[in-house]
Each structure stands twice: as C-alpha cells, then as structure tokens.
Chain A
Amino acid sequence: MIMESVRTVMDILSVFVLPALLVGFPLYGLYKKVPVYEEFVEGAKGGFKVAVMIIPYLVAILFAIGMFRASGAMEFMTEGIRPLLGLIGVPPEVLPMMIFRPLSGSGSAGLVLDMIQQYGEDSILVKMAATMFGSTETTFYVIAVYFGAVNVKRTRHAVPAGLIADLTALLLSVYIVTWLFG
C-alpha cells in the first residue's frame, strides 16, 4: 500500500520533471538576461555532429550482437550453463534474459514478453525477468553511445565495471524476487 502511494507520487513527479526543464531553463535564462534563443541554437548545433559520431561505434557493437543472436548461441549457452545454475539457485528459464540483457534492449524486452505469454504474468519467473529488465541497462549500447559521442576508443575498465554491476543486479533480481514472492 505504501509502495503504491509512493509510486503514484513519483509517477506524478516524473511527469512534471520534463516540462519543468523545458520551460524552467529558458525562463530562468531570460531572468538572468541570457540571450536564450541564440544560446539554445548555439548549443543545439552539436546534436547532429554527436549523432553522426556515434554511428561507427553503434554499427560495430550492434552488428556483432546481431550475429551472435542469430547464430543460435543462446540455445547452446543455455544448455552448457544449465548444470551450473542449480548450484547458485537460478532457474534455467531466466538464463536467456541474463545473457541478453546487457547485449540487446529490444531483444530482452521481447524475452520478457515471451515469458509473460508462456508462464503468465503472475509467475515468479516473469517477476524475475521483469526485475532484471528494470534493474539493469543495455550496457554495450550505453558504452557505444556514451563513448562514441566523444570518440573514445580505449574504454579501459568500463566494460568489466559495467558487467560486474550487471551480474550483481541479475543475480540479486533472482534472489530478492525469490525472497519477496517465493
């Protein structure tokens, strides 16, 4: 119950955040005697350049992920890792989600949808998958976009740090959902 009202408040708040930014920034600028229109256009000029700069990075990441997904790797890895899963208390049905969440946003959304159809909304497996989806990002997409935008090629420890965070969130999703609903 408390969760629900908190959620309503946050929902309403989040609806107003964007309009507040869109209107607030220019009005505040005007109040501070900034030539708002000129500055806006000046800043917005960068948009095209950034988007074009991201393209090679996105192509590189997405085509490799697309090939991997099309190769049937998922069925293979699911079979290979299955025996290990029992040891750490992870149901094998959520494994595809764990593999694909950092790789592909639309792919993992599709997996949640598949699982809803297969197991029903109330099943604990769907709850795990949805928690995984909500708790992690498409790490490789974020890396391509954020580093691509500033032309950084040597990412140093960004990938391992991101993946450690992902793995933590994925495993925690299983344990916490089991603890709450199991």
Chain B
Amino acid sequence: MLNYIWAGLIAFSLLFAAIYDTRDLLNDTYRNGANLPLQLEFKGEYDSRARRQTVTVLIDKDQYTSFYESRITEDLQFEGVLVRTEDGVQIRFAKDTQIPKPLGVIREMTSARDNDLRGPVSNFRLSSDSTAAATVAFSTVRFVKMQAIADAALSMAEIAVSLALGLIGVIALFMGLLQIAEKSGLIHSLVRVTQPLLKPLFPDIPKDHPALGMIVLNLSANMLGLGNAATPLGIKAMEELQKLSPEKETATNSMVMLLAMNTASVQVVPPVLLVALMGLQINQLMFAIILVTSISLIVAVISAKLLGKMKRYRDTDPNRNEKLAEGA
C-alpha cells in the first residue's frame, strides 16, 4: 500500500504540475513579452543623463485587471529605481514588498536573488517634469510548477535530515531513562499492571515482556500531549517489538496495532502547537477532541485487527508459521 501511495504522490505531482503549466501557457497567465503600462513619478525633475534615479511606480487597477485578467481592488504603488544600462533603460521596483499573484510569481521566478521586479522600459513619455508614462516587459516566465516541484523535493530532503538529526538528543535522553527503568524493574511492574487490558490487542507479545510497558508509556505520553516524549517512547516500543519479530523487514501485527493507536492518539491535554494557534478557544474544543479521538481509537483498533485477518496480510504476517504450528 505504501508503495502505491508513495509512487502515486510522485506521479500525481508531475501530472498536476504539467496540467498547471500547460494551462498557464495556453492562457498566457504571465503575459510573456507583453508591455505592462506604468506611471512613473520622479523625486524632483527627470534627468535623462542620470545613471540611477529613484522613482515611484504606479499601476492603475483597471489596467492591471485587464492586462493580467486578475482582479485587484486598489491601485498599486511601489518604490523603485530607473537604471540606465548598456542595453537601455531598466526599471527595478517592488523589492521585498507584498504584491498580487501573477506579479509575485514573476518576481520569484525572474529575480529570486534580489527579490524585485525588473525589466526593460519602453514607450517612455514624459507627461511633466517629474512624471512619465512607460511600459515594462518582464522576462519570460513558464513551467512554474515544474520548477516548484523540483525545488520542493530538494528542500524537503534537506528538511528530513535536519528533522531526524534534531531528534537525536531527545531520543538519547529517553532511551537512557528507559534503560534505568528497565533495569530497576519499573517497566516490569508496569507490564504486570496493564497486561490484562492490553494483552488482547497485542496477542503476539509474550507474557511479562517489557514491550508492553514501553507501549503503555508511549500511549500515555500521547494522551497527555507530550509529543516530544511520545516519539522516543514509541521508537523504544518498536525496538522491543522488533526483538520479537522473526522477519526483521516486515511489520508484525503488534507493530501495526501500535501505529494505528498512535495515529488515532486519544488526547486528554491538547497538543502544544494547537494551544499556541487557538489560545483559550481550545477549552471549548477539548470535549469535541476527546470524543472524536476516543471513537477513532476504537475504529483504529478494530480496523487494524480486521485488516490483519485479510488473506494478503495474513500471508505476510512474520509470525504466520508459529500460528500455523499453534493451530495444528
């Protein structure tokens, strides 16, 4: 299943990107090569020999709307400079400011380093000493989404590594603590207390095995909204379950059950991030969250159990041979 979802995500991102880019090309969304009309206001008098001159750029909302077929409600106004280069006069404006969408994409695609809009000026006409009308043509923009998916893949690969490495400290901390807990018999007592409740869900785990203790700790940390602690505890539980597995590359039924229970995670205390987003509003929602997660936990447990009974998953069960032996 993961194979198909994974391949599907990749294939569909290519497909969607291709559709988007084709649509942009057909509609000429970015008006490649066309001249966008601008009004320029100079500070002081216009000087035809100055190499650089600061200027305020005005774009009329109606002109913009008919040019890009993208509605804006107010005239646009940006600070910029008029630069005389060997190839003619160039305008650079709207550096680091908010700009509406087609322009924003053009800025991102054509001048990512300087983060401004720039292009050669034509049809320059002075209307007074310090104001002028002109047009600008930006560099050609196309295949926006195609480049975006490639960029996203590269940057996510980097993020994945920093995420994983960022976990080292917390994982080490909890693994150290759990080692003490195991050696001191704390996990063992926890297992004996919770065994009657959890054993039916994890029939593969032998009696009094520490794996159950780790699972209990993981699930409780999850309930209390302690995401930072829950992850290393879950990893430790997985390691204990892996010790019991005869096939190291395949998930056992218990591993799937633990995962399903984790994704459904009952919450008694809301996760820190949600509190940060919602503030006091969260109090109203706690009842809803507890209700939803309790039901989804039951659904998770039932679906993990039932799916495990399907033929294709029964045939891949790492413990299938022992179960056959037991049955015979």
- Listed in ascending order, the chain A residues whose CB lies under 8 Å from chain B are 3-4, 7, 10-11, 13-14, 17-18, 21-22, 25-26, 28-29, 31-32, 34, 36, 39-48, 50-52, 54-55, 58-73, 76, 102, 105, 109, 112-113, 116, 121-122, 127, 130-131, 133-137, 139, 142-143, 145-147, 149-162, 164-166, 168-169, 172-173, 176-177, 180-181
Contacts and interface: CB of A to CB of B under 8 A. Distances in A.
A58 B164 contact: yes
A143 B2 contact: yes
Interface majority SS (helix, strand, loop, mixed), chain A: helix
B265 A161 contact: no
A173 B289 CA distance: 8
Contact of B13 (A70, A142, A172): A70
B6 A158 contact: no
Contacts of B296: 135-136, 165-166, 168-169, 172
A72 B289 CA distance: 30
B283 to A, nearest CB: 5
Contacts of A139: 263
B156 A63 contact: yes
B58 interface: no
A24 B317 CA distance: 38
Interface residues of B, number: 109
Given A143-B2, A153-B249, A165-B303, A134 B281 contact: no
B176 A137 contact: no
A51 B165 contact: yes
A111 to B, nearest CB: 10
A135 B149 contact: no
A158 B167 contact: no
A151 B249 contact: yes
Contact of A154 (B15, B250, B269, B270): B250
B122 interface: no
B171 A50 contact: yes
Contact of B263 (A22, A50, A136): A136
Nearest to B221: A17
Contacts of A76: 16, 19
Contacts of B288: 127, 131, 135, 173, 176-177, 180
